[in-house]
Each structure stands twice: as structure tokens, then as C-alpha cells.
Structure 1
Amino acid sequence: MKNLIIALLSLLSYTTMAQEIDAESWKKEAQTNIRLAPKYGNAIKSEAEKVADAELIKSYTEREGTPKKASELLVQLGFSYLNKGDLKTAMYRFNQAWLLDPKNENVQWGFGGVYFRLGDFESAIEQYDEGLKINPKSSDILTDKATIYVSKYDKSESAADLKMATSLFKQSYKFDPTNQNTLFKMSVLYYITDDCVNAKRYFLECKKLGGKQITPGYEEALYKKCK
């Protein structure tokens, strides 16, 4: 499926970016640096660490007004670092967001994103599933989970991976038909499977909303294939 590289650029960007550390080394380091593990690895913290956590919670709550708002701010910061490729700082921010609001599903979305970047799909799925237990209607989590199965399908060409990706994208679209990330990736999925009608449908829906997620070259590739 090498001829699909252009169409898959955005889907595979998490795992094709150069990494300073692989998943195995990351988990090994997390055994001594609990900040690299989701929820701090559920470790029993020292009194000094508990005091530091309490001060952080107080500081961010006073700054943002509520723990929930503060948690969302830290999630956004986490994704900012994640998109820059700074996985460690991203995980630190996601863990701080969890401290402020353990019921914020977007924290699990962030944890999953770190593992996704590391190429550890199974751990990413575990985190996404935890987030979906909190909010089964999270379009963002459903779409990123679907993206994993598209990535797996690109290598395996497994009907099961394709079926799962399709199902998750449809759920995501149902809950938020304006999610441009979902729309673009659904278009790519149908492009891969030679369904030109749906590939163009979701592409046009995404473009109508601004097309921010559309990667360079995809429109040309789409209309060259789907005339």
C-alpha cells in the first residue's frame, strides 16, 4: 500500500516522527520517574510530593477559577508539547491535569496520544478506552482510536482492523459531525478502500468547515483517483 503514503500523512505522523526514546525504554524509565507514567503510575507518593501536588492544585485552581478549567488548560498545554514532539513535558502536563480533575476524559486522550507517538498502540488504546468509560461520546478520543486501527490496517490489511476503524469513525461522526479531524480521516479511510463516493463526501464536508486538517497533496490525490 505504498502508493497511499500521501493520503496517510496525517494519520501516521504520530508514529513516523523521529523519537528520542522508544516505547520500551520509555516504560523502563517510567519505573524510576513516575511522571512519565499515566496517573503517576498510581505510586504511593512521599509527603513532600503530596505537599507539592496540593500547592499545584491550589495555584492552578486560583488562577483558572475551578479545578476543571485548570485541568483543561493543562491538557491544552500537554497537546501543545505533544505536537512539538516533546513527549516528556507533554506527559508531565497531562499528569498535572489528572491531579486537578481525575474525571476529565481529555486527560486519558492525552495519555493515549503520548503512547501513540511512541508507537505503542496497545497502551494508547488502553488509555483511550479509559477515557471512553468516562465519556463514551468523546469524538476526539473515538477518532484517535480509529486512527490507530487505520495505521494498523495500512500494515496488516486486516479486515478486522478496517472494520474497527470504520465503526469508530462512524461513532465519532455521529456524536460530532463538525469534527474536521474525523471528517478528513474518514475521507482518507474511504480513499484507501476505493470508496470514492464517501471519500469525496467527507472531504467536502471537511473543506466546507475550513479544511484545517487536510494535508497538502491530498485533494489532488483524491480527485486524480476519484474523477
Structure 2
Amino acid sequence: MKTKLSSILFLMIFNSAYTQNCLEKINILPMYGGVKKCKEQLDSDKEFLKEMDKLFPNRQKAMQERIKSAWKYFYENDLDTAMKRFNQAWLLDPKSYEIYWGFGNIVAMKGNPKQAVKYFDDAKKLIPSNSDFYVSSALAYSQMFLNEKNSSFLKIAIKDLEAGLKLNPKNGKLYSMLSTSYFYLNNIKEAKKYLKEAEKLEPSSINPEFKKILDSK
């Protein structure tokens, strides 16, 4: 009887230690939080990859499907599920800028623009092809400027917006944000120039209060 109780006690201690090594909710952190996964989590990854290999002709196709699903949840404001999908896409093939764009957007929306720009910078290394990516990156740098009052962040935001315009010169949001950025740099001439362009392309991108202030200058 003592031997049986000892065995049960040993298993309870072992299982407790095993569970403690399996950190919870790492799938709602970018790249699973960069932590060392436990055996249970690694086995789960293997099963997931095995299933994707059955369903898709290659992992890049599987990754694209996961990214599509991630954006769907993102726009439904289900950020945790979106992060899970982006993580699965990263697990399948970490070479798409959209994965890091997604990581950055979610982190920024959770109130950490400084961490978000790290993921946007990772995305830039993979050559983004969507002008809206640069809107996201510029927003994070602009938020850092507002938090820290460091104009160097605003200058990076302007570079991002200019890069976005090269991809899509008809993206009104980019002009509107350039107007705001130059306003904060006290360059009223440039601010008015870009506001005029934004009005032509996408009037809804302009904050009425900001327009009123700028028109009075």
C-alpha cells in the first residue's frame, strides 16, 4: 500500500513539474513569446504541421490560408484568435512580411507601440508590398512620438509614409498622416500641401478638428 501511495505521490509531483514547464497562453504572444516550448506544445506543433501538410500542396499555401484567417479575426477585433493564426502562419513559413505586420498591429492595439515597431521593422526586411503596411508602421512611430516627444520617431513615420506613397500614390490615409506629421514638426506649408491631397483622394481620412486648426494657420 505504501509503495502504491509513493508511486501516486511521485506521479503527482512529476505531473505538477511538467505542467509548470508548459507556460500557458504563449500562442497569444508573437512567435509564441520566444520561449522554449514543452514537449506537449512541441507535439501539438507537429500534429498541426502534419495536418496542414495533408490539407495543402505546400506549407506556403497553408501559411497564406492562416494569414487570411488571421486578418479576418483581426478585423472582427478578436485579437487573441488573430494572434493564434499569425503564430500558426509563422510556424508554417516565417518568411511573409504580413505575419510580422499582424504581430505589430496586434501589439500596437494592445498599447505597446515600442514593441510593435520591432515587428514592423522585421516586416520591412521582407519588403512589404502593401501601402497600408506603412500606415500601420507610421502610426506606431507617431504614437511613440506622442508618448516621448522625440521628433526622431516622427521623422521615421514620415519616411514610412513616403515609402507607402511609392507603392500607392492614391492612398489618402498616407497624405492625411503626412499632413499631421508635418504639422507636429511645425512645417505648416507641407502640412497644408498634404492635407489638400488627402482631401482630393479620401476626405474621410481627415480629422475635422485637425483641418479646422490647420486652416486657421
TM-score, scaled to structure 1: 0.68
- Kept in 2: contact 1:57–1:99 (CA 8 A): no
In 1, the alpha carbon distance for the partners of 2:107 and 2:175 equals: 23
- Kept in 2: contact 1:71–1:101 (CA 8 A): no
Compare CA radii of gyration and give the structure with the larger one. 2
Q: 2:62 aligns with which of 49, 64, 67?
A: 67
Compared CA separation, residues 33 and 212, structure 1 to 2 (3 A): same
Mapped pair 1:157 → 2:161? no
Compared CA separation, residues 92 and 196, structure 1 to 2 (3 A): same
Tell me which residue corresponds to 2:42: 46
Task: Provide structure 2 residue ranges, at least 5 long, that are not aligned to the other structure.
Answer: 1-21
Quote how far apart the aligned CAs of 1:31 are.
Answer: 4.4
Q: Please list the CA deviations of residues 170-193 of structure 1 after superposition, one character each: whole Å capped at 9, or x if unmatched.
A: 233233322333222111112223
In 2, the alpha carbon distance for the partners of 1:132 and 1:194 equals: 28
What are the residue-to-residue correspondences of 1:11-26 with 2, within 5 Å? none
Counterpart secondary structure, 2:95 = coil
Mapped pair 1:87 → 2:82? no
What are the residue-to-residue correspondences of 1:181-220 with 2, within 5 Å? 181-220=173-212
Compared CA separation, residues 93 and 181, structure 1 to 2 (3 A): farther
Amino acid at match of 1:202: Y
Counterpart secondary structure, 1:46 = helix
- Kept in 2: contact 1:112–1:123 (CA 8 A): yes
Tell me which residue corresponds to 1:97: 89
TM-score, scaled to structure 2: 0.71
Quote how far apart the aligned CAs of 1:116 are.
Answer: 0.9
- Kept in 2: contact 1:184–1:203 (CA 8 A): yes
Counterpart secondary structure, 1:169 = helix
Amino acid at match of 2:69: L
Quote how far apart the aligned CAs of 1:141 are.
Answer: 3.4
Q: Please list the CA deviations of residues 47-71 of structure 1 after superposition, one character each: whole Å capped at 9, or x if unmatched.
A: 2442134325655x48xx9335414
Structure showing greater relative contact order (alpha-carbon pairs closer than 8 Å, 6 or more residues apart)? 1
- Kept in 1: contact 2:71–2:82 (CA 8 A): no
- Kept in 2: contact 1:75–1:107 (CA 8 A): no
Identity %: 28
Q: Please list the CA deviations of residues 75-128 of structure 1 after superposition, one character each: whole Å capped at 9, or x if unmatched.
A: 4214314xx3x3312212222333454222111011011211222233211111
Tell me which residue corresponds to 1:123: 115
Mapped pair 1:133 → 2:125? yes
In 2, the alpha carbon distance for the partners of 1:35 and 1:183 equals: 36
Counterpart secondary structure, 2:202 = coil
Counterpart secondary structure, 2:182 = helix
Task: Provide structure 1 residue ranges, at least 5 long, that are not aligned to the other structure.
Answer: 1-29
Tell me which residue corresponds to 1:113: 105
Compared CA separation, residues 201 and 219, structure 1 to 2 (3 A): same
